[in-house]
Structure 1
Amino acid sequence: MVGSPATATLILNKVVVDLEGETLRLENGDAIALRPQAFAVLRHLVQNANRLVSKAELLEAVWGGAAVTDDSLVQCIHEIRRALGDERYAVLATVSRRGYRLSLERSDESALGGPSIAVLPFATMRGDEPNDYFADGLVEDIITNLSKIPGLFVIARNSSFGFRGEKADLRTIAAELRVRYLLQGSLRQSGGRLRINAQLVDGASATNVWADRFEGAAADVFDLQDRLTEQIVGSIEPSVRRAEIERAHRKRPESLDAYHLYLRALPHAHANTPVETDKALQLLARSIELQPDYVAAHGYAAWCYEQRYLRNGLDPADKATALSHADIALGINSDDPQAMSIGAFVRANLTRDYDAAVEVLDRALALNNNSALAFGFSALVSAHSERHQRAVEHAHKALRLSPLDDPLSYHPYCALALTHLFAGAFADAARYAALAVRANPGFSIPYAYLAASHVGLGNVEAAHSAARRLIEVAPNFSVGGYVRTNLFQPYLMDALAAALRTAGLPE
């Protein structure tokens, strides 16, 4: 099997094939009719392109062993060729008495394995030459920085700039470039300010996945270009991740591969509750079974086992398994900043080797300085190890890069709450703890920070209220169990434990 195409669209003989929507259309957008059964045959042939597919295999794949004659398959093949305009059998060939082979150029396969994106030239006002240069420079910087995101296939500038000024349907452009997503935008200047509108578009449906507006003073164009690049790229990474998760949930269970199993695990891992963690681990185990060297899946497996260890009885087996997965995520050949960040966080919490963790986090951020996830984990490690200034800086950077609905925004809020709590700034600690609770109401630890902060402020009733909510979320929580996690220096943990007892939490 050449590959299991994950991309939504591709072009066969100038016909746009939408595998998810199960539709065919011409490049001008006109629909081409094809029966569902014939489309199912086409899908299997595309998924097994450039190899001989026997009649028996197609009959089993499409009809599931039901009693049908070869005539049903022959009729589907005829309809596919007619829909593709393949009168000469150049795309779909018959191999006499054996089966069929669908030809897909190797270049068509390059972007089929995971998320892919092309950044189109940003539109400017006609004749606005200075802003044309600025817009092109901005797009080039965006392409360069997107290319640092592991697993994201980014089309080179020369290819995407070939569509400058074209009015073609976005679905056709995505199909021609063989990408899943398009980033488009426009630039306008008013007085001394530049305004940029940007949209991330699903290439299959031409619908917006994300859109935002950015602006700044035009006086220092290079500084503005850097800041806009950071903001746009930082928003795109979690937006693509969220869209990929939604796409994985739409896939049929029997067609899930390692990548899509991993994507399905992410929302459960992000929830950070015992029940959801177990769901994530089941999916991650299946992903790793299919692809044992998948470092991204190992990174999340490490984090999930760390979650289970810290919040489900401190089982030594969970700790050992978490460290084993973290070691793979941090292996000598790992260049995935996300997996490196998670692995470093897990090792920091379970071994308290904070210096080594910070070194890895710095390497991860050097690989991708626009990862809100990496900055969030770095902020937590820094807060746990009393690197207060770094914790605050990295937490705010994560929040600046992250959309408001990023499922991991509770990480930087937790880091800020803890840092201010340790510093005795209880009002700020309470504010950030409340934001962490709002970002993830099912995660128990922010309630502990909130309760301790209110104790520091002398708000006994508010502290008791936070403690009650903590027990509702985590009925087995105890102060003694939390102390045994050994996450902080003893004097800090003793002070936090004393506050939690004052809030009324059980020993």
Structure 2
Amino acid sequence: MTIGVALIVGDTLRRRWHTDSPGTRGQEFPLLAAREQAARSTAADSTLASQLTLPEKPSIAVLPFQNMSGDPEQDYFADGIVEEITTALSRFPSLFVIARNSSFTYKGKSVDIKQVGRELGVRYVLEGGIRKAANQVRVTAQLIDAATGVHIWADRFEGELADIFRLQDDMSQRAVGAITPMVEHAEIERMKRKPTHRFDAYDFYLKGLASLNLQGSKDAADEALQMFYRAIDLDSGFASAYGNAAFCFVRRLVNAWMEDPKKEIVEAERLATRAVQYGSDDPVALTSGGFTLARLLGELEIGEQHLHRALELSPSYALAWTHRAWIRVFQGRPDEALPDLNRAMRLNPRDPLMPGYFSVMGMAHFVAGRYEEAASWCEKAIQVQPKFLPPLRTAAASYALAGNLQAAQTMMSSLMQLDPRRRISTLRELYPLQRNRDWELLTEGLRRAGLPD
């Protein structure tokens, strides 16, 4: 499938959005520095209590499965399968499911299941291993009561790669059945709806997720986009691939990586529209597609409707709660955004990307007129991730409006080093603020801090 769109997004995409033939998998992308990762984990731990209260619902975390293939290049597959199982479980309203990012803080570590239960605030833990060889896949899994350490069940699932969706279904149903045996049939059927019936498309999709999860890297974002496009090439109705491809453009915008914003936003709109059109019952597609429409196109009400639907389908989907919080901030409803954000943080208590939550918190308090509190939250984000542009902007404006021009100018100095082309005149593309008052205060604060017109 082609669309005749040629945009320039650096060498990684070879000037291809969706026109050139697929290339080979590119260079390996470095992970974030160990020091930064450790600081992020520390920030997350200091924000939430070290021992969380168990939710009223049965609660579960899916830990990273061990890659037993003997090939590190297959890590993406094992990680992707775990992410898909997590997403499937999060569709059950009767469960409280910890988000992928928090669970993956334990990857590669020897863990004490009881400690995991305390740190994530869950009763059950699902762990296992995956072996992929030729066209065969074997998955072993065990469900453990984190309070006692007792194994509730353990099983092995085998089949051809083409059967991977059935294997995921079997494993998820066994876990749900052991925890909540009275789960309604309709919920189980909804979980079985798979994003694509083509394994080759699904494989590229999992590679895209692996790159997309490498936050902070432009190369990784470009790689993710190329993988999602290749998945779409193979399945033109792959809603989740459209949604995540659209979200890559949001990542490009907020990190000042766009080279032709007008053309790229047009392409993002195309992808997001397809995502919500094809994925009306897909929380991943609705979340990524809906948020892209809100963030890049300013369609806040439409975006919120898609996020609301995503949360109806998947009440434990932390990213949907976070994105809806952002939309409510942009709508001038900060005090409604904060409960959404608190829910997301509880679902994702050890997220290495906790600065993102701090950034939303900061912007919510800014829109509410609480400038000192806004600056404090942004400082937490910047302390962990000094090159994170959104909290730098919010902090600069907050300090300026609070009367602390020295701190505001310090933030602006860092901001201009990272985003030297930014001007007051180009802020609209970053902030789809619905209320004129919020826009005027933001621009005034940044102008006082030293952002040129």
Q: TM-score range by the shorter chain?
A: 0.5 to 0.7
- Listed as ranges, the matches of 1:79-478 within 5 Å are 114-115=81-82, 145=95, 179=139, 181-187=141-147, 257-268=203-214, 270-271=215-216, 276-308=220-252, 311=256, 312=258, 315-407=261-353, 409-438=354-383, 440-478=385-423
Structure 1 residues 245-300: Cα deviation after superposition (integer angstroms, max 9, x where no partner) = xxxxxxxxx999313322232134x43x6555334323332333344333222112
Pairwise CA distance, 1:174: 10
Q: What is the one-letter code of the residue matched to 2:318?
A: A
Distance 1:145 1:490 in 2: 41
Are the aligned partners of 1:338 and 1:364 in contact in 2 as well (CA < 8 Å)?
Answer: yes
2: distance between equivalents of 1:327 and 1:476?
Answer: 30
Tell me the matched-pair count.
308
Structure of higher RCO (CA pairs closer than 8 Å, 6+ residues apart): 2
Matched position secondary structure for 2:322? helix
Q: TM-score if structure 1 supplies the norm length? A: 0.52
Deviations 1:358-387 (A, max 9, x none): 221111111111111111111101101112
Q: 1:500 to 1:198 in 2, by over 3 A?
A: farther
Q: Does 1:494 align with 2:444?
A: no
Distance across 2 between alignment mates of 1:422 and 1:402: 25
Q: Secondary structure at the match of 1:345?
A: helix
Give 3-state SS (helix, strand or coil) of 2:427's partner: helix
CA distance in 2, matches of 1:278, 1:458: 40
The percent identity for this pair of structures is 25
Does the 8 Å CA contact 1:349/1:487 hold for their aligned counterparts? yes
Q: Whose Rg is larger? A: 1
1:143: how far off? 10
- TM-score, normalization: structure 2? 0.57
Bigger mean CA offset, 323-332 vs 476-485:
476-485
Residue type at the aligned position of 2:421? N
In structure 2, runs of 5+ residues without a counterpart are 1-63, 101-126, 158-178, 181-199
Structure 1: tracts of 5 or more residues without a match: 1-6, 10-17, 23-42, 44-110, 120-138, 151-169, 189-195, 205-224, 227-253
* In 1: Cα distance, 2:85 partner to 2:273 partner: 34
- 1:21 matched to which residue of 2? 70
CA shift, 1:332, in A, is 4.5
Task: Tell me how far 1:500 sits from its aligned partner.
Answer: 0.7
CA distance in structure 2 between the partners assigned to 1:256 and 1:369 by the alignment: 24
Partners of 2:95 and 2:238 in 1: how far apart? 23
Counterparts in 2 of 1:180 and 1:266: CA distance versus 1, 3 Å: farther
Aligned to 1:481: 426
**2:362, 2:375 within 8 Å by CA — same for their partners in 1?**
yes
* Distance apart, 1:113 and its partner CA: 9.3
**What is the CA–CA distance in structure 2 between the aligned matches of 1:116 and 1:352, rounded to whole Å?**
30
Deviation, 1:392, is 0.7
Q: Distance in 1 between matches of 2:444 and 2:79?
A: 55
Secondary structure in 2 matching 1:331: helix
CA distance in 1, matches of 2:349, 2:99: 17
Equivalent-residue separation in structure 1 for 2:227 and 2:427 (angstroms)? 28
Contact 1:309 1:319 in 2 (8 A): no
Does the 8 A contact of 2:400 with 2:408 survive in 1? yes
Determine helix, strand or coil for the equivalent of 1:184: strand
Q: Find the aligned partners of 1:348 and 1:481 in 2 and give their Cα distance.
A: 17
How far apart in 1 are the matches of 2:438 and 2:294? 17
Letter in 2 for 1:404: R
Aligned residues: CA RMSD: 4.5
Q: Quote the Cα distance in structure 2 between the aligned partners of 1:459 and 1:423.
A: 18
Matched position secondary structure for 2:381: helix
Report the CA distance shift for 1:323/1:182 in structure 2 as closer, same or farther (over 3 A): farther
Give the secondary-structure state (helix, strand or coil) at the position aligned to 2:139: coil
How far off its partner does 1:431 sit? Answer: 1.5
**Residue equivalent to 1:83:** none
SS in structure 2 of the partner of residue 179 of structure 1: strand
Deviations 1:428-468 (A, max 9, x none): 10121123334544331210001111112222111111111
Match of 2:49 in 1: none
Contact 2:332-2:438 within 8 A present in 1 as well: no
CA-CA distance at 1:180 after TM superposition: 5.2
**Paired residue for 1:218?**
none
Contact 1:115 1:180 in 2 (8 A): no
